[in-house]
Structure 1
Amino acid sequence: MSEQNGEHVLARRIAGLRTNAFAALVMLLIQLVLGMWVNLFATIPSADGGTGFLSAFFRAISNGPVGLSVHAILGALPLVSATAAVVRAVVLHRGVLIGIASLALLAIAIAFVTGDRYVATSNASASWVMALCTAVPLFCYALILFTVASVRDALAA
């Protein structure tokens, strides 16, 4: 592979990870705002109480209210994005980026599971853990954006 071709591949991979991190930041901010709305203004349907894992998730989607349904549906997107970020970091062969992206994925997975628990129990501590587990990947993706060189800088180095 020529040096120029290798630089092009590296540039595409860096751009992909940075785009992924930015998209995840936006998704998580939307989720954070929707989650605050649900916590403050939505009434969790009583039919959702005491249900098992993922059962509460599907009931939240079908029983509403609409803010909770949207929050639940969009909650799966950060999981997909976080998984893609880990794969992109692995492809770049950068241990620090793999660690940061993996921490973000773990926090998002915990937030997802805790959200399911919140719908099932309406426990305020579950809502608090969800918020904390949203803050962690927000920081992780901001860190990726600030520490990964832009494509232009990477090619100039």
Structure 2
Amino acid sequence: MSESPTTEAAPEAAPAAPAAAPADEAALAVDRMRRSSLGALVLLMAQAILGMWAGLYATIPDADTGQGLFASFRNALAHGPVSVATHAGFGMLVFLDACVIVVFALTVQNTLVRAASVLGWLCIAGAAMSGASFVNNSNANGASMTMAVLTFVAVSCYAVNLYVLGGRRA
């Protein structure tokens, strides 16, 4: 008995997955933007609470004043009271999140969402600069008020995103 060699057919290549339809991509972008905006709202509320904690219970060391904005931020992280260091460090994370949201906003086909995201990012940057100004000159109560107002304007911007994108799927 001889066995004849059989040639096995090569398995067929799996068909390529179809590219996502443009409507699906738009729906994913909207969903990602809504989730990111909600996350930013939560982060900003936590940051506002940390700011109140720092404002009520922290005393800025005299050695940290008068050194400039970036040195003030560095000193707040490295030498500041725990509440100020926590507020400054968390603020940096909020700022980075706002940068990511601006990038995400570019994928959404809505001018108002793009504008609100950029304005939210600018407000967070302005609040950070006001915070550094406050550490630089602890008598600058206007800087503290500016920080709070800009934070709540940023909250409003992300709330606008949620409202505008509320029921949209594409």
**Fold conserved (TM > 0.5)?**
yes
Name the CA distance, whole Å, in 2 between partners of 1:111 and 1:154. 33
Task: State which structure, 1 or 2, has the greater radius of gyration over its C-alpha atoms.
Answer: 2
The gaps in structure 1 that reach 5 residues or longer are none
- For 1:1-157, list aligned pairs within 5 A: 5-122=21-138, 123-150=140-167, 153-154=168-169
Name the CA distance, whole Å, in 2 between partners of 1:43 and 1:72. 14
SS at match of 1:92: coil
- Identify if the C-alpha distance between structure 1 residues 7 and 149 changes in structure 2 by more than 3 Å, giving closer, same or farther: farther
**Matched letter for residue 33 of structure 1:** I
- Describe the superposition over 1:5-33 as per-residue Cα deviations: whole angstroms up to 9, x where unpaired: 22221121111111111111111111101
Name the CA distance, whole Å, in 2 between partners of 1:125 and 1:149. 36
**Percent of aligned pairs with the same residue?**
34
Judge conservation of contact 2:50–2:87 (CA < 8 Å) in 1: yes
- What's the C-alpha RMSD, in Å, of the aligned pairs? 1.6
Larger helix percent:
1
Superposition TM-score, scaled by structure 1 size: 0.90
The gaps in structure 2 that reach 5 residues or longer are 1-17
Superposition TM-score, scaled by structure 2 size: 0.84
